[in-house]
Amino acid sequence: MTTLAVESLGYTAGSSVLIDGVSLTAHPGELLGVVGPNGAGKSTLLQLMAGDRTPTRGSVTLDGRPIAEYRPSELARMRAVLPQQTVVQFPFTSRDIVLMGRHPHHGDPNNSHEHDLGVARAAMAATHTLDLETRIFPSLSGGEQTRVAFARILAQETPIILLDEPTTTLDVHHQEHTMQLLGHRARRGAAIVAVLHDLNLAAAYAGRLVLLSEGRVRAIGSPAQVLDEDVLSETYHQRMRVMNHPHRDCPLVVVE
């Protein structure tokens, strides 16, 4: 089981402190939601956890080993990253995009092109994108592109999955379906960290939440612990009410 941990993490860009003293661990079998207002440092934290940025201070470790010590090919077999937007300018098909997730496995003597294709098509079926497999990726709608990019992440078959706003461009049905797929991967042992803007989606599907504000952890714990009316209202500069969800065993956040 693979664990991703950050300790006293800090990141400064020029005179701006974007991340300040963040400590947390993504555990196997867990979906950890990262929430907070715009500019809170959510995307920067995810990039630091992925090893795509170098922290100014503190540490990021993967199974107790500094993430900077991993070779890129080795890291690609350990963690998959879904950015906010997947920019593709060449006329790759959706199937080509998903098969890119299999690239880290090309050196495995037990792997084959037939296996890669099977994994890719299974990921596309799971994300309801199999009917898009021959479509040119740049011609897809924003939501379709997000779902295909998510299929690529699933096809990569890594023990850690990091996602930056995976549901923002999706309709309600595909938002729910994407979170259900992430929950299924977590139950199979993956450690998942997802930046989410929708507090109610986060409450419904994340086992733990971390609330960021101005680069610092304002609260961390279960959704019931983190989604406090006063804390949310102060953090988002918007009065909010928190009540029991009428149909789900989780809090429901309502803007006043």
- C-alpha 227/C-alpha 180 separation (Å) is 21
**Is pLDDT at 92 greater than 80 in this prediction?**
yes
- Can you give the pLDDT at residue 32? 98
The candidate with the shortest Cα–Cα distance to 43, out of 81, 75, 71, is: 81
- C-alpha 28/C-alpha 99 separation (Å) is 25
For the chain, percent of residues with pLDDT exceeding 70: 100
- Tokens found for residue 52: 């795509």
- Tokens found for residue 255: 């803007």
**Is pLDDT at 6 greater than 80 in this prediction?**
yes
Residue 229 has, within 13 A of its CA and on its CB side, a CA count of 10
Q: What is the pLDDT of residues 116-158, one digit of tens each?
A: 999 999 999 999 999 999 999 999 999 999 999 999 999 999 9
- Tokens 């733990």 correspond to 208
- Can you give the pLDDT at residue 198? 97
**Is pLDDT at 205 greater than 90 in this prediction?**
yes
Average pLDDT over residues 89-102: 95
Q: Distance between alpha carbon 208 and the CA centroid of its chain, in Å?
A: 13
- C-alpha 14/C-alpha 230 separation (Å) is 33
- Can you give the pLDDT at residue 86? 83
- Can you give the pLDDT at residue 108? 83
CA end-to-end distance (rounded Å), the chain:
43
The answer to whether 158 and 79 have CB atoms below 8 angstroms apart is yes
- C-alpha 95/C-alpha 202 separation (Å) is 30
DSSP H or E stretch at residue 151 = helix 142-156
Q: What's 13-82 look like in SS3? A: ECCEEEEEEEEEEECCCEEEEEECCCCCCHHHHHHHHHCCCCCCEEEEEECCEEHHHCCHHHHHCCEEEE
Q: What does pTM read for this prediction?
A: 0.96
- Can you give the pLDDT at residue 126? 98
- Can you give the pLDDT at residue 30? 97
- Can you give the pLDDT at residue 111? 83
Higher local confidence (pLDDT), 108 or 163: 163
**Is pLDDT at 71 greater than 80 in this prediction?**
yes
Mean pLDDT of the residues in the chain = 96
Average pLDDT over residues 98-121: 92
- Can you give the pLDDT at residue 251? 97
The candidate with the shortest Cα–Cα distance to 33, out of 139, 160, 132, 164, is: 164
What's the helix, strand, coil split of the chain in %, to 5?
A: 40, 30, 35
**Is pLDDT at 1 greater than 80 in this prediction?**
no
- C-alpha 100/C-alpha 156 separation (Å) is 8
